[in-house]
Structure 1
Amino acid sequence: MFVFALIGVLNTATYYGPYLVLLAWFPYLVAHILATLLSMTGSFFLNARFTYRIRPTWRKFLLFPLSNAANLVVTTAGVYVLVDLAHVGSGYAPLIASLAAIPVTFLVSRRIMVTA
């Protein structure tokens, strides 16, 4: 899980840059969803190679968004709660929300990557 978390930190950085750029043009939830979608491909290949040490396949690639769907649900709910209810700045909320998503995303991605 350590390698998964490390890749998650790298993936968060590749998500966060586009998120901040998109935030200038879109509402925070739209920016969050678009940035999440952009970061999925790199996450798939890094996790296939370094976390699970498997050969990437089209089947796994097409199923991998399910793990990101779990991440998207947890982080989107977290971003909403943090921004609209807790009044945390929209620039920081995704970083905080992503911490809650790590264990959920790990369990779902492991299921997809190892058994699919």
Structure 2
Amino acid sequence: MSTPRSAYSPQLLQLLCFCLVGVVNTGTFYGFYLALHPWLPYFTAYTAAFAASMVGSFFLNTYLTYRTRPTWRKFLLFPLTNLTNYMIAGISFYTLVEWAQMNDKAAPLVAAATATPFTYVLSRRILLRPDPVGGHTNGSKP
């Protein structure tokens, strides 16, 4: 017997959606990374793929995870979540490749998982932050 949707906390549903969006975004990132890897050094390919997937991540998380209205302010603040993700995952990625001798095609996936909890907390704070004009976090009108 399935549990009604209302039985789950909103934060749990957001976290699950965030993880699903993360899987899609990671797939997009990884596709870019594999496409660029033959032409660029591995860390340059990683950085370019990361930047390319950032915009999609913003819109998927805005519309699907947090069901809020995208604004320029949120769009400009959103890279902070990606910077956090980049730093944590980048350090993990470098460590996995250079110190643990992990394959440089598999390491980005493991590194991405290490950054997920930090990125979720920060993205939630940014994307659910009330608009300075009107104080709304979603697209509803006063």
Is the pair's TM-score, using the shorter chain for normalization, greater than 0.5?
yes
Query: Which runs of 5 or more residues in structure 2 are unaligned?
Result: 1-14, 131-142
Q: 1:24 aligns with which of 35, 38, 47?
A: 38
- Could you state the TM-score of these two structures normalised by the residue count of structure 1? 0.97
Aligned-pair Cα RMSD in Å: 0.8
1:44-76 C-alpha deviation (Å, 9 max, x unpaired): 001001111101001101110100000000111
**Correspondence for 2:23:** 9
**Correspondence for 1:44:** 58
How many pairs are equivalent? 116
**Correspondence for 2:101:** 87
Q: Which has the larger radius of gyration?
A: 2
Higher relative contact order (CA 8 A, sep 6+): 1
4+ runs deviating over 4 angstroms: none
In terms of fraction of residues, the more helix-rich structure is 1
Distance in 1, matches of 2:123 and 2:16, equals: 14
**Correspondence for 2:11:** none
- Could you state the TM-score of these two structures normalised by the residue count of structure 2? 0.80
Identity between Structure 1 and Structure 2 (%): 49
